[in-house]
Structure 1
Amino acid sequence: MDFGAFILAQQRGYHQSSHQVIANSVEQTVLAEQAGFSNAWYAEHHFNNYSLSPSPLMMVAHCAGKTSTIRLGSAVCILPLYHAPRFLAEVGLVDSLSGGRLELGIGSGYQQFEFERFNTSLEESGKIFEEYLDVIPNALGQKIFEHHSDYLDIPPSSIATRPLQEPMPPVWITTGNPKLRERAFRDGHNLFVTALLNGTDAIGDLRGKIDEARDGAGVDGSNTRIGFLRCGYASDNDAEIDSYLENALFQRRLSFSLKARTQQTDDGYLMKEVPTDSDPTLESLRANLPVGNVNRVIERLIEEIEILRPDHIALQTQLGDFDQKTMLKQMELWGETIIPAVQKAVGGKTATLSAAE
């Protein structure tokens, strides 16, 4: 059972410069390693303030030079937006540059706004993504590979800079498609899942979907790690907790508007934060999430782990305009107190439980 920092790199307003947002991402990575987090994860989004990280592989390459032990991952590379040969070559290079610390998170994407600007079809993204699942192990695991399909056509080629990890970096798949989850289990890839800002009932439903995918794949699941993306915050200061939750709500509002294609902007870039009828209250978020004093956060995390049985938890550390110095102190608190307490309580049983039944 280990913990990562999920770094979304959001800009809530022009009071945050883009340069500072990215600098904060790097600073959080360095602090995450020092605090004892096992991973740092970088998002990929384009052309607006929902996330300022257009290339998680570039973030990994840069932060590899700032760190030495922490594993660095893409969460996720939106594969239909890539040119396949370049993507494959860059994965090999980045794994080499990072000293074999790359965790390769991949997904098919969901924001029409991005797909339009890459002249790519969101409706066909799932099919494109499946073809990538075919070509990635062949390209990274063989000296010479070729691939011919509906969307990807690659003549005999070789990745010049091979991944340092053999045969390739661990792959993490983020998807809501049950069939793709089944394939992840069959292929021995890892799964990244989230219950968004919902509580234990949603986590239980999520575990049920994971079990269905594992059973549908006809495997015991022992080769697949489950990663859980989660918001959480520990403090005795209610104002700090409210600020974190307000920024989590900001993230939700922008994400939902992009998915529903209802985003609004006055200048073509900075999206408006528009409340909706489905917005949770701060009170419901406090009830749903591992937030509160340290003991409450530890107890709630243990409860959620017992339900979902993940192998990895990725904590959302860079949401909206939450104060950077305060978040760095929060990450230190997790490293010093929360992570050790949770690991002591759950021990090594989560990996066993995730493949149980």
Structure 2
Amino acid sequence: MKFHLAINMERIDGSLDMKDVARHTLEMVQMADAGGFGIAWAAEHHALEMTIAPNPFSILAWWAQHTNNIRLGTAVIAAPYWHPIRAAGEAAFVDLISGGRLEFGIGSGAYQREFDRMRPGLKQTDAWRYMQEMLPVIRALWQGDHAHEGEFWSFPASTSCPKPVQTEVPVWVAARAPITYDYAVRQGCNIQSWPLTRDMGEARLYMQRLEEALANHPGARRPVMAMMRHTAVYDRKEDWMVPVRAAQRQLSQFENLFRNLGDVENGFPKAIPFDQLGNRAEYDPEMLHRNLMFGTPDEVIAKLKDYQAIGVDAFIYYASLGLGLAEQKRSLELFCNEVIPAFA
């Protein structure tokens, strides 16, 4: 099993200085680079302090100058917010300056709140059509001159400047729905999946969708299947509620965004009080501890073996969950020193 790191510059409230957050994020990526992680992933989100990532390519360019071996990926660019020529050029530039370390992840976008600001009038449920139109265009632009007449973009012959260093840039799509698994297999893309806070049944469902897509396309290359979970490793079993409380707080802010309540002040979504949640079972402490990648090194190794057993190729360590900066670093240190060697 391979290991990836997903990390955001993140502020749950205004108590952290942005300079400290930025320095911490880079240091975490450097720890992952030295500790055996294969890829570091940067997201795209707008006008939100809990995920400060207005341009993942600029973040990757920053990381590239301060790392040596770890590959650098977008997880993911939101296709409706980009023009294909710009996305192709930005991606190729990162591949150039990183020495061919780019992993290109593309998706549809997450929150209706962002669409209302970045692509007004577009429903989040329709955004997958932009992603499916854009990806073949970007690949063509990386090869040379390409003219496009599509539903969402049209332009005369143009090309990506610069071109990628890699002959073939690995491409990833974020997939949960069967239609996206089918698209990934047809297009030769790797897959990032996120079961949120759900149990292993959700993970097995995603593996089933992958197998169904492969069965529908005989001879297609099997994609790399990566699965992401919020992760926190700690020294003592009795500390299990520390990451759980952090996750509960962050997830209640996510709930605000998913519902598009509009209750965001200066970039900080307000947490929904627990007694106002209709889906309280999704915030149960024991459930979160069980389903997320929380535990001592031995407990985390045992959980990861369950993912390995169902065929997951790579585990994405999602570091951003509102945990204290010192706790985040200790968690990653334990993961590098005690968890990764168990899968060597």
Same fold per superposition (TM over 0.5)? yes
1:347 aligned residue: none
Partner of 2:20: 20
Residue 220 of structure 1 and its aligned partner are, at CA, apart by 5.1
The residue that corresponds to 2:47 in the other structure is: 47
Alpha-carbon distance, 1:326 to partner: 2.5
| 2:296 is aligned with 1:298 | no
CA–CA distance in 1 between the matches of 2:205 and 2:60?
A: 33
The structure 1 residue matched to 2:319, chosen from 317, 321, 333, is 317
Say whether the 8 Å CA contact 2:230–2:321 is kept in structure 1: no
Give deviations 1:90-111, integer Å, cap 9, x for gaps: 1111110111111111100121
Question: Structure 2: where are the runs of 5+ without partners?
Answer: none
Correspondences of 1:170-209 after superposition (within 5 Å): 170-209=170-209
Partner of 1:258: 257
Structure 2 counterpart of 1:348: none
SS in 2 for 1:110: coil
Q: Deviations over 1:132-191 (max 9, x none)?
A: 122021111x22111111111121112221101113x21110033322221211221100
Q: Secondary structure at the match of 1:161?
A: coil
SS at match of 1:41: strand
Counterpart among 263, 268, 280 of residue 270 in structure 1: 268
For 1:215 and 1:256, locate their aligned partners in 2 and report how far apart those are by CA, in whole Å.
36
Q: 1:325 to 1:111 in 2, by over 3 A?
A: same
Three-state SS of the structure 1 residue aligned to 2:75 is strand
- Structure 1 equivalent of residue 149 of structure 2: 148
Distance of 1:214 and 1:311 partners within structure 2: 16
Match of 2:329 in 1: 328
Q: Is 1:115 aligned with 2:115?
A: yes
Deviation of 1:19 after TM superposition, in Å, equals 3.0
| 2:295 aligned with 1:286 | no
| SS of equivalent residue, structure 1 residue 232 | strand
Q: Which amino acid aligns with 1:299?
A: A
What SS class does the counterpart of residue 67 from structure 2 fall into?
coil
Percent of residue pairs bearing the same amino acid type: 27
Structure 1 length-normalised TM: 0.89
Counterpart residue type for residue 149 of structure 2: H
Query: How many angstroms does 1:268 deviate by?
Result: 4.3
Distance in 2, Cα, partners of 1:304 & 1:91: 31
Q: 1:235-254, aligned counterparts within 5 Å?
A: 235-238=234-237, 240-254=239-253
What per-residue deviation string (whole Å, max 9, x for no partner) do you get for residues 190-230 of structure 1?
000011112222222222222222223334543x1111111
CA apart distance, 1:255? 2.5
Do the aligned residues in 1 keep the contact of 2:170 with 2:190 (CA within 8 Å)? yes
Contact 2:232–2:319 under 8 Å retained in 1: no
Q: Which amino acid aligns with 1:226?
A: M
Deviation at 1:240, TM superposition (A): 4.3
Provide closer, same or farther for how the CA distance between residues 49 and 238 of structure 1 changes in structure 2, counting only shifts above 3 A.
Answer: farther
Which stretch of structure 1 is more off in the superposition, 29-38 or 19-28? 19-28
Residue number in structure 1 paired with 2:140: 138
- Contact kept in structure 1, 2:47 and 2:267, CA below 8 Å: yes
**Contact 2:85 / 2:159 at 8 angstroms: preserved in 1?**
no
What is the TM-score of this pair, normalised by structure 2? 0.92
Ranges in structure 1 where 5+ consecutive residues have no aligned partner? 345-357
Work out the number of aligned pairs and report it: 337
- Does the Cα contact within 8 Å between 2:186 and 2:220 map onto a contact in 1? no
User: 1:60 Cα shift?
Assistant: 0.5
Cα separation, 2, equivalents of 1:238 and 1:185: 41
User: 1:311 corresponds to which letter in structure 2?
Assistant: D
1:31-67 CA-partner distances (Å, limit 9, x unpaired): 1111221111111111122311111111110110001
Cα deviation, residue 69, structure 1: 0.6
Where 2:172 maps in the other structure, the secondary structure is strand
Deviation at 1:10, TM superposition (A): 2.1
Map of 2:68 onto structure 1: 68
Contact 1:236/1:293, CA 8 A, preserved across alignment: yes
